[in-house]
Chain A
Amino acid sequence: EADIYQTPRYLVIGTGKKITLECSQTMGHDKMYWYQQDPGMELHLIHYSYGVNSTEKGDLSSESTVSRIRTEHFPLTLESARPSHTSQYLCASSESGSEKLFFGSGTQLSVL
């Protein structure tokens, strides 16, 4: 069982609000990732981190930002939510030297 947690599980919010999606893992993994997934579609990488104070943008352009101040924590922030941000956001982690990803249960975000 993967020890990676995402909160909230569901979030419904109005346009223009600032939101932070939380992701924490207790496995001591160096690498962490944020993927975005629309229903029935593939996962798109939006951010990744290979360690503390290291963050990179993924293939899919996103208006969100991330931070990695602690190994176990990789929050994602949207400064001003819009309906186009409605999607499922999945956090994942992996151990250095391992290709296997552990995913959280995701946050389903709906922006009205």
Chain B
Amino acid sequence: SQKIEQNSEALNIQEGKTATLTCNYTNYSPAYLQWYRQDPGRGPVFLLLIRENEKEKRKERLKVTFDTTLKQSLFHITASQPADSATYLCAPGESSARQLTFGSGTQLTVLP
């Protein structure tokens, strides 16, 4: 069956450091992969989309990599800030699928 695995433990890092979050998937052939941010009690907010033919994508302090051989995406936040504290969700998307499935997320806390 299809499975999406994100960092099982919550991630605590010091302000200014780079946070790296992992998304592994099995039994998917995604044409793209999305990352969302979710704050407590709120809906997810779209951050980045990377396609299967892209190795890396950047947006300000965010960087996403996508390795279809390893079946993995890495999400980096450089120069992290306490305001980056949230849960980050990954969602691999198959072109044939009519819906998007999300991982359970990684809770990131950036300590001042």
Identify A42's interface contact among B34, B43, B45, B104, CB under 8 A.
Answer: B104
B111 within 8 A of A: no
Q: Mark B30-47, 1 if CB is under 8 A from A, else 0.
A: 001010100001111110
Give the complex CA separation of A95 and B34 in angstroms: 16
- Contacting pair A104 B43 (CB below 8 A): yes
Residues of A within 8 A of B99 (CB): 33, 45, 48, 58-59
Closest 5 CB pairs of A and B: A103-B43, A42-B104, A43-B102, A90-B43, A100-B46
Residues of B participating in the A interface, judged by any CB pair closer than 8 Å: 4, 32, 34, 36, 41-46, 49, 89, 93, 98-105
The chain B residue with its CB closest to the CB of A48 is B99
Residues of A participating in the B interface, judged by any CB pair closer than 8 Å: 2, 33, 40-43, 45, 48, 50, 56, 58-59, 88, 90-92, 99-106, 108
- Contacting pair A92 B43 (CB below 8 A): yes
The chain A residue with its CB closest to the CB of B40 is A39
Least CB distance from A79 to B in Å reads 24
Give the complex CA separation of A99 and B41 in angstroms: 23
The chain A residue with its CB closest to the CB of B10 is A40
Q: Contacts A48-B98, A48-B99 hold; do A101 and B44 have CB atoms under 8 A apart? A: yes
Residues of A within 8 A of B43 (CB): 90-92, 103-106
The chain B residue with its CB closest to the CB of A41 is B104
Least CB distance from B3 to A in Å reads 11
- Contacting pair A103 B45 (CB below 8 A): yes
Give the complex CA separation of A104 and B43 in angstroms: 6
Identify A108's interface contact among B36, B41, B98, CB under 8 A.
Answer: B41
Identify B32's interface contact among A91, A99, A102, A103, CB under 8 A.
Answer: A99
